[in-house]
Structure 1
Amino acid sequence: MPVTPENDPLYRLRHSTAHVMAQAVLELFPEAKIAIGPPVENGFYYDFDLPRPLTPDDLEEIERRMRRIVQGNHPFVRRVVTPDEARELFKDQPYKLELIEDLLRGANEYGEMESGTAGAQEQGGQVVITTYRQDSFEDLCRGPHVANTREIKPDAFKLLRVSGAYWRGDERRPQLQRIYGTVWPSKRELEEYLHRLEEAKKRDHRVLGKQLGLFHFSEEIGPGIPLLTPKGALMRHLMEEYVRETQTRYGYEHVWTGHLVKESLYAKSGHLENYAESMFPPMVEDAEHGQIYRLKPMNCPSHMTLYNEMGLHSYRELPLRFAEFCTLYRFEKTGELTGLTRVRALTQDDCHIFCTPAQIESEFGLALQLINEVFNTYGFHDYYVRLSLRGSEGKYVADDEKWEQATAALKAALEANAVQYVTAEGEAAFYGPKADFIARDVLGREWQLSTIQVDFIQPARLGCEYIGEDGQRHTPVVLHRAVTGSWERFFGILIEHYAGAFPVWLAPVQAMIIPITDRHVPYARQVAQQLKAAGIRAQIDLGDSRMNAKIRDAQLQKIPYMLVVGDKEMEAGTVAVRLRTNENRGPLPLDGFIAHVQELIRTKSKEL
């Protein structure tokens, strides 16, 4: 059974706690204007227009009042009100009044409308609005809620932080204060979640990325455009090389299609109509003659154009698998940018598979094998598939027949490959349904990584054809496929997954050589030369610090191996090996150490 607000107890618990928080805020600030307060993953938030910025002391006072409210055992009471009653009830709340008018417009047009935490519907030809009340607080809301505030345990919730949020996400509208909180069925579950949050802070890729010297952001360059250091660029090269080699082994061919595309191509593909808000503004050379260009937000129209330019294909040539490491540009709002996980310049390990309808299942299966192999290499063993379908609202290319074909084909491919999946209405791409691979990291957080999408629409719009067995022209199906998706996003996730302690094959510096005194430097140089000749990335710490400080510095940099060299090592031709975990493996023959590390690199092992 799919999870819905009606059958999800955590949704109801978090929704109800958001209302309790709003009541407490209004008690503390009677002049406050309230906006919306929905449940979200692991918690809830509520937006407020307040007379002054909130302080940590305010959050503590709001929590204290919330505990008093929940201990009052107040029932959550649903009430149906007319539009006029709603306007009177919220006459001092301008944000609620705006929501009411939007609900009425939506209800008049669609018969039923959902917006944030408010609801309206037709009853007997008259538009009615629902509210929920507990104690002295009544909110515009469609529910559902717990039955009584006693179901919210006073020691099982916590307010986490305050941030700014524009009303309805529009930077031209007022900026509100958003209070985030979390609530769980028990104190134990709350404590476990707070522990995970602390661990997540330690692993924050934005902090570790700077500490480890991997990447930077600069206002001189602009928001959302990462700058990679030599270490970061090396890791990017290693990761791209691995996926490139793996894809080649699976029969993919790599192409290149540039960064700029004429806007007219996106008009044909449907991107201009359905994706323009995420595209950078046009670059106009000669508007009269159609010389208007866009930075690429997607790669598919370029690959389909390349398919066409290579001549009319035969069914015998299919499937054709075009892969490209392409940098794409998406005009994300500044407030939505988050380190590497949401940027404006992103590089995808993109692929488009041109195939016949009969080849969809086998091509899906091949892509599934590739994804499994890559996930296992990177250490993501816990994942599931989300089947993202077209919703009743949103921007989608209008072609019901092709949507039905694509959805049926994707479901058949999932079932033929024995893939269990959950469905998500409204999460499809604008041109077709997709299978999204959701992986859990070591902290249990979920990330969408890979995707396989079935597209019956764009190839037809862009004139892609092949000659079938019957001698007639047919339109190929295109499978859109990404393994790790955006490299930047995947790299940020990987930093947090490993807390910066990467597997040996990925570590930008694999061994730090530490001479005990200056007279040991020549031997350290010999060791470094032999390691580099064997393909091992090694450096020598020639600083003035003492040996123990150098070991500590290397461990803080998450370098897998520290190789200490002194008189004994010089005489025996060995290295004293210490791991970043602080394990001391003692002296090892240099040849033996090299063979060990080479095997870890060859197998892409996660061991040391």
Structure 2
Amino acid sequence: MSTSLAAEKEQAQQDLDRMRHSTAHLMAAAVQLLWPEAKFGVGPAIKNGFYYDIELPEALTPKDLGRIEQKMRELKNKKLGYDRIEVGIDEAIEEMSKRNQPYKVELLNLLKERGSTAVVQETGDAEAIGLSEGQEGSTVVSFYQTGHFLDLCRGPHVEDTTHIGVFKLMSIAGAYWRGNENNPQLQRLYGTAFNTKEELDHYLWLLEESKKRDHRRLGQELDLFAFSDLVGGGLPLFTPKGTLVRDLLEEFVQSLQEPLGYQRVHIPHITKNDLYKTSGHWEKFQEDIFHVSGKSGEDFCMKPMNCPHHTQIYASRMRSYRELPIRLSEVTTVYRDELPGTLHGLSRVRAITQDDAHVFCTPDQVQEEVLRIYSIIENFYKPFGMTLAVRLSLWDEEHPEKYLGTPELWNSAQEQLRAVLRMKGIEWVEEVGEAAFYGPKIDFTALDALERTWQLATIQLDFNLPERFNLEYMGPDGHAARPVMLHRAVLGSVERFMSVLIEHYAGAFPTWLSPVQAMIIPIADRHLDYAYQVKQSLLDVRLSSARESIRVEVDEARESMQKKIRNAQLQKVPYMLVLGDKEAENGEVNVRHRSGVNLGTLSVSALAERIKQEILTRNDLPRE
């Protein structure tokens, strides 16, 4: 692990956040000049930008953002400072009352009565309270003066407005004050800021590209999945094409883990509530669980996770140390009662299919098993061209009451995971307090084509469930011992991973994953017979994968060749095989790739071999 590199990245991000927070103040200063009666809520830096919640006498339009931007540039050029002023809380309340800033007065009174933690919890803005870290209970708060604009703020800020880079105001939204729908709704102005114009332009390009790649739109256009109001929100319906993609992903994971000794199991989708009460999940998740009632009078629920069920397979009989490790795997759906407003295509659903696996092993087998899981994850992501970043999530030793197990057990487990990462020879970061309450974990973050990061795969050590369910194995000394449980996810959620993949590839899946791999396009009806001969030749190609043949279709529509090619391109079909008199006479095909590259005339066998290699290697061949 390169601590210096991690420190440099962290410092660069802190500097960028400071500049963005300063830009939020600059925006507020501009708004106050344009609308002197504006009343300000909070304005933090956020990922990729900043926002400010403001009460205004009129509803802003996108046109107003241009006016605000122009005023911001005028103020920036004046080299206004960010001058810190410290005053007592009572004096601060008096000053904000004079300036008719009721939301600032409310924050100050909340700070005075309940402390900084309450303010942060209710606003999400640590800087808004004007109280530095470690000053809980202090009677002094800070303001920052920028020209005419005075704002309650903890800071820090840039030295003056000329240290602000390039910025752009992005959008306007509504936001309830302090996140409470019973409070006034303010106007939230979003903006972004970067150090250079090139960085801003690149970010704006990524935003436009992400709109084009939205998996919700592409999923409909490519006929992969659908939603129905009669079925319910967050409950996707997968079409034959979408189901094929799911199956291929699941089979890929299985092909990697089966040689390593993983065995499939199958569990029911409902369970008695008692299972989750024993596991400890009930207390944490009961508000997110779908409850089921039946004729027995017993309380059931739809399973929100699978691990407690798998413990019961392990516990179904006494185990010997000779049987361990036991590796159980399953692709199955869990159900969580997500709020309607949080649902988002496939990325946030109520029916979540997990490629779940759990390993029960002895303490001295942990390191080897983690290495096995690591290799599965590494090999799975390789074909997708996604770079993986690794985080080691540790416990917070200053708050041991939040975790299960002794300090010795935690230190040993964490050192085992560090040893694995050292063996892999990779860089990683460590985050204190990010461990699960039952054990430390290795989290993998994938970087997609739009430079977005997704936390997908994970390896977790668990001391909790073996203890709660009293899991045992008979050791070599004839005494019962407690196994360690490893949780692992490769895709994470099949639905969410599909949403990431659709946007990563803009719907143009690699050949091995494409629902239709080749579209045969006869120029005229007289070429149909030859088209079906070519189709049969491709279907006859035997593959050593789970899928038996190349997936090929014939476009029989009475439309122009150009229209058929365009349709195939819209469906993101990798190969378009155009057939006319010459091709039929010579027993060949004219091959075009969806990228627009014309591969020229090939024999059917040469094309079949090309597609076969792309399927078997999960790697598309060069097109030029």
Task: Report the TM-score when normalising by structure 1.
Answer: 0.91
2:572 is aligned, of 555, 558, 564, to 558
1:135 is aligned, of 127, 147, 153, to 147
Unaligned runs of 5+ in 1: none
AA partner of residue 359 (structure 1) = Q
1:495 is aligned, of 498, 502, 512, to 502
The worse-fitting range, judged by mean Cα deviation, of 291-300 and 24-33 is 24-33
Task: Map 1:385-424 to 2 at 5 A.
Answer: 385-390=390-395, 396-397=402-403, 399=405, 401=407, 403-424=410-431
**Distance change >3 Å, CA 125–CA 561, structure 1 → 2:** closer
1:107–1:122 contact (8 Å) kept in structure 2: no
Cα shift at 1:561: 0.6
**Distance change >3 Å, CA 167–CA 424, structure 1 → 2:** farther
How big is each residue's C-alpha offset from its partner over 1:278-331, in whole Å with a ceiling of 9 and x where there is no partner? x234334489x7x2222222222121222112x121222111111111212223
Q: Which residue of 1 aligns with 2:240?
A: 230
CA distance in 1, matches of 2:400, 2:225: 36
2:218 is aligned, of 208, 211, 217, to 208
How big is each residue's C-alpha offset from its partner over 1:432-472, in whole Å with a ceiling of 9 and x where there is no partner? 33211112112222111211111112221222222223322
Match of 1:54, SS state, is coil
**Distance change >3 Å, CA 527–CA 94, structure 1 → 2:** farther
Match of 1:500, SS state, is coil
CA distance in 1, matches of 2:334, 2:325: 25
1:246–1:370 contact (8 Å) kept in structure 2: yes
Match of 1:578, SS state, is strand
**Distance change >3 Å, CA 171–CA 272, structure 1 → 2:** farther
Q: Which residue of 2 aligns with 1:541?
A: 555
Unaligned runs of 5+ in 2: 542-548
Residue identity (%):
48
1:364–1:452 contact (8 Å) kept in structure 2: yes
Match of 1:369, SS state, is helix
Q: Which residue of 2 aligns with 1:283?
A: 292
Q: Which residue of 2 aligns with 1:152?
A: 164
AA partner of residue 577 (structure 1) = V
Task: Map 1:370-385 to 2 at 5 A.
Answer: 370-380=376-386, 382-385=387-390
1:327 is aligned, of 333, 336, 347, to 333
**Distance change >3 Å, CA 405–CA 142, structure 1 → 2:** farther
CA distance in 2, matches of 1:538, 1:350: 32
Q: Which residue of 1 aligns with 2:229?
A: 219
Q: Which residue of 1 aligns with 2:272?
A: 262
2:20–2:50 contact (8 Å) kept in structure 1: yes
Task: Map 1:31-110 to 2 at 5 A.
Answer: 31-91=37-97, 92-104=100-112, 107=115
How big is each residue's C-alpha offset from its partner over 1:157-179, in whole Å with a ceiling of 9 and x where there is no partner? 11112234444445565544332
1:274–1:397 contact (8 Å) kept in structure 2: no
2:604 is aligned, of 586, 590, 593, to 590
Cα shift at 1:222: 2.5
AA partner of residue 348 (structure 2) = R
CA distance in 1, matches of 2:344, 2:431: 24
2:192 maps to 1:182: yes
AA partner of residue 584 (structure 2) = M
Q: Which residue of 2 aligns with 1:455?
A: 462
Task: Report the TM-score when normalising by structure 2.
Answer: 0.89
2:487 maps to 1:480: yes
1:394–1:426 contact (8 Å) kept in structure 2: no
How big is each residue's C-alpha offset from its partner over 1:548-572, in whole Å with a ceiling of 9 and x where there is no partner? 1111111121101111112122222
AA partner of residue 70 (structure 2) = R
Q: Which residue of 2 aligns with 1:428?
A: 435
1:25 is aligned, of 21, 31, 34, to 31
CA distance in 2, matches of 1:297, 1:444: 31
Cα shift at 1:397: 4.5
CA distance in 1, matches of 2:414, 2:110: 32
2:204 is aligned, of 156, 171, 194, to 194
How big is each residue's C-alpha offset from its partner over 1:45-83, in whole Å with a ceiling of 9 and x where there is no partner? 223344443311011112112212222222222333333
AA partner of residue 470 (structure 1) = D
Cα shift at 1:123: 5.5
The worse-fitting range, judged by mean Cα deviation, of 157-166 and 235-244 is 157-166
CA distance in 2, matches of 1:458, 1:80: 51
2:310–2:328 contact (8 Å) kept in structure 1: yes
Cα shift at 1:12: 0.7
CA distance in 2, matches of 1:171, 1:405: 47
CA distance in 2, matches of 1:111, 1:44: 19
CA distance in 2, matches of 1:90, 1:472: 70
The alignment's C-alpha RMSD in Å is 2.9
Aligned length, in residue pairs:
601
How big is each residue's C-alpha offset from its partner over 1:76-120, in whole Å with a ceiling of 9 and x where there is no partner? 223333332343344444544454455456648899998533344
The worse-fitting range, judged by mean Cα deviation, of 564-573 and 268-277 is 268-277
2:255 maps to 1:245: yes
AA partner of residue 148 (structure 2) = S
Match of 1:118, SS state, is helix
1:106–1:112 contact (8 Å) kept in structure 2: no
Q: Which residue of 2 aligns with 1:362?
A: 368
**Distance change >3 Å, CA 6–CA 513, structure 1 → 2:** closer
CA distance in 2, matches of 1:206, 1:124: 46
Q: Which residue of 1 aligns with 2:618?
A: 604
Match of 2:511, SS state, is coil
1:562–1:580 contact (8 Å) kept in structure 2: yes
How big is each residue's C-alpha offset from its partner over 1:108-140, in whole Å with a ceiling of 9 and x where there is no partner? 889999853334467696443333332233333
AA partner of residue 342 (structure 2) = E
AA partner of residue 232 (structure 1) = G
AA partner of residue 145 (structure 1) = H
2:44–2:125 contact (8 Å) kept in structure 1: no
Match of 2:536, SS state, is helix
Match of 1:232, SS state, is helix
Match of 2:512, SS state, is coil
1:450–1:481 contact (8 Å) kept in structure 2: yes
1:575 is aligned, of 557, 566, 589, to 589
The worse-fitting range, judged by mean Cα deviation, of 388-397 and 243-252 is 388-397
Match of 1:564, SS state, is strand
CA distance in 1, matches of 2:76, 2:126: 24
2:526 maps to 1:514: no
Cα shift at 1:182: 1.1
Q: Which residue of 2 aligns with 1:337?
A: 343
**Distance change >3 Å, CA 314–CA 577, structure 1 → 2:** same
Task: Map 1:522-541 to 2 at 5 A.
Answer: 522-534=529-541, 535-541=549-555
Cα shift at 1:361: 1.3
CA distance in 2, matches of 1:551, 1:374: 33
Task: Map 1:163-178 to 2 at 5 A.
Answer: 163-170=173-180, 174-178=184-188
Q: Which residue of 2 aligns with 1:349?
A: 355
1:360–1:413 contact (8 Å) kept in structure 2: no
1:286–1:292 contact (8 Å) kept in structure 2: no
Q: Which residue of 2 aligns with 1:271?
A: 281
